[in-house]
């Protein structure tokens, strides 16, 4: 391509066209490139797709490429993994790809913790049981990488001993007495969830047969939340709602996936209902 004299804009258009094809086919596109390609041959201001950045610095310090939407850093080609013969590449990802997602068929279906309630209007709604949130402390020794910044999602001043610590770009842990907390943790009135390694989670979280949505900041969402163009309702305890929901004197209906019905009609329990463009039921 370079020998054909294509310009930076030409190459960028080709990248976007290819990624769009991948996206339309139902897959997640990414742009894999090193610093030279990202800075010399691409117009990053026109690329909205995630970047898989390949850079192998000897000091293993991450230096971002300005303007790139980097979510994965390939940091070395000389990694060693027990059970694998030879060297492998090592990657740091600060975005979750794949896994459970309520947009998938039958995802978000609750096998427990919910009950059906009759209402005076003759419709029914689902109410979810409460999920207790408590913080636990992991047994690890805390920071396992370079501290990039001292401010975390809660904008709370941090040290290695207490508060938010960023171990690699985009990867946050909440420390208490030098140890990373795991599970649910409330910080400044907001709930966050850290996995078994102590890493703060974002996106959809499935726990105790309930779905929760954690914003890009890591904070648990409540009330209406738009995810990939679909509206979801999260109860005050964060659990995703399905079925009927009465809000501000209007009825809405969330499918088993949690997505709100809008601008359509649907037969529910043998009765046909119509919903306007905002999702409200039209009697």
C-beta of residue 22 within 8 angstroms of C-beta of residue 14: no
List of domains in the chain: 8-93 (3.20.20.80), 164-282 (2.10.270.10)
Closest by CA position to 233, among listed 244, 243, 222: 222
Angle formed at CA 56 by CA 50 and CA 61, multiple of 5 degrees:
85
Give CA separation, 282 vs 114, 119, 269, in Å: 26, 17, 17
C-beta of residue 133 within 8 angstroms of C-beta of residue 191: yes
Give CA separation, 229 vs 103, 114, 225, 257, 259, in Å: 11, 26, 10, 14, 10
Residue 62, pLDDT score: 72
| Tens digit of each residue's pLDDT (9 = 90 or more) over 132-146 | 333 333 333 233 333
Q: Is 75 left (phi over 0), alpha (psi -120 to 50) or beta?
A: alpha
Beta strand spans in 10-93 (E): 30-34, 50-54, 70-79, 88-93
Distance CA 165, CA 159 (A): 7
pTM above 0.75, yes or no: no
In three-state secondary structure terms, 29 is: coil
Distance between alpha carbon 115 and the CA centroid of its chain, in Å? 28
Tell me the H-state helices in the chain.
8-24, 35-36
Residue 153, pLDDT score: 56
| Tens digit of each residue's pLDDT (9 = 90 or more) over 39-89 | 999 999 999 999 999 998 877 677 778 888 888 989 888 888 888 888 888
| Tens digit of each residue's pLDDT (9 = 90 or more) over 179-232 | 999 999 999 999 999 999 999 999 999 998 999 999 999 999 999 999 999 999
């Amino acid at each position: 391509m370079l020998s054909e004299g294509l310009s930076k804009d030409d190459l960028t258009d080709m990248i976007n066209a290819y990624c769009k094809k991948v996206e339309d086919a139902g897959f997640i596109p990414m742009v894999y490139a090193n610093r030279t390609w990202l800075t010399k041959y691409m117009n990053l201001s026109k690329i909205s797709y995630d970047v898989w950045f390949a850079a192998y610095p000897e000091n293993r310090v991450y230096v971002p490429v300005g303007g790139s939407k980097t979510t994965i850093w390939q940091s070395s080609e000389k990694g060693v993994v027990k059970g694998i013969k030879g060297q492998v590449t090592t990657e740091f990802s600060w975005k979750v790809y794949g896994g459970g997602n309520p947009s998938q068929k039958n995802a978000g279906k609750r096998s427990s913790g919910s009950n059906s309630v009759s209402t005076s209007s003759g419709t029914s709604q689902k109410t979810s049981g409460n999920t207790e949130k408590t913080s636990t402390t992991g047994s690890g020794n805390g920071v396992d990488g370079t501290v990039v910044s001292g401010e975390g999602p809660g904008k709370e001043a941090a040290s290695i001993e207490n508060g938010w610590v960023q171990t690699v770009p985009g990867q946050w842990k909440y420390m208490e007495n030098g140890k990373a907390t795991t599970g649910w943790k409330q910080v400044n009135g907001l709930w966050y969830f850290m996995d078994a390694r102590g890493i703060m989670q974002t996106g959809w979280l499935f726990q105790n047969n309930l779905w929760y949505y954690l914003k890009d900041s890591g904070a648990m969402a409540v009330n209406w939340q738009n995810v990939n163009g679909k509206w979801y309702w999260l109860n005050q305890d964060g659990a995703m709602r399905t079925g009927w929901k009465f809000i501000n004197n209007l009825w809405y209906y969330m499918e088993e996936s949690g997505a709100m019905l809008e601008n359509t009609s649907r037969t529910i329990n043998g009765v046909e209902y119509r919903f306007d463009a905002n999702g409200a039921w039209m009697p």
